[in-house]
Amino acid sequence: MNKKDQLGYDILERYNSEISEIKRRLNSIKEGNLYGEKFDGSNIDGSLSTNAMEIEKLMEDFMLAFQSMEKENIHPVIIAAYLHGELVRIHPFIDGNGRTSRLLMNLYLLQKGYTIVTLKSDNDMKLRYYKALEVSHTEQQHDDFYLLVAEAEKASLERYISILE
């Protein structure tokens, strides 16, 4: 074997496990399992383990509902809570769904003149957050989650006002 062939062989040998993992993930996605075998179901109960082929339709429905809520003049804090809760439920990304949904919620709040909210400030709040999301997703009862977001917005506005005074 010449040096060039040996170098190629060494590189393949070195990265064989990474290449195998990438191939496994690609095959899994082709089969419609967005998460692959590594997904352990540790998402919030009621969040979808979304089939990759369904994401486009679910996201389209998500956007249509959002547009309808805006046309109906639903309160911006409720819309922001919807954006967060529904994006987490759809679970369109392999990782970062919670962070992305909280970012989207806060962006919407800022665009509507509200302040950024923190939903997981301490352990009690974190437990309440996860429970409210779970009920929202499994029982389609959104009130607790919407109330949680509204209370967080109220607290954020109160902090903001106290800083200004």
Looking up tokens 């954020």, which residue turns up? 156
Structure tokens at 17: 């496990």
Q: Of these residues, 84, 91, 137, 142, which one is catalytic?
A: 91
Active site residue 75: no
Which residues touch 90 (CB under 8 Å, ≥6 apart)?
Answer: 47, 48, 50, 55, 58, 59, 62
DSSP one-letter code for 35: T
Burial 121-142 (b: 16+ CB within 10 A, else e): eeeeeeebbeebbbbbbeeeeb
Instruction: Assess contact for 94 and 29: CB atoms under 8 A.
Output: no
Where are the alpha helices (H) located in 31-122, listed in sequence order?
A: 55-71, 76-90, 97-111
Residues constituting the chain: 165
Residues noted as catalytic: 91
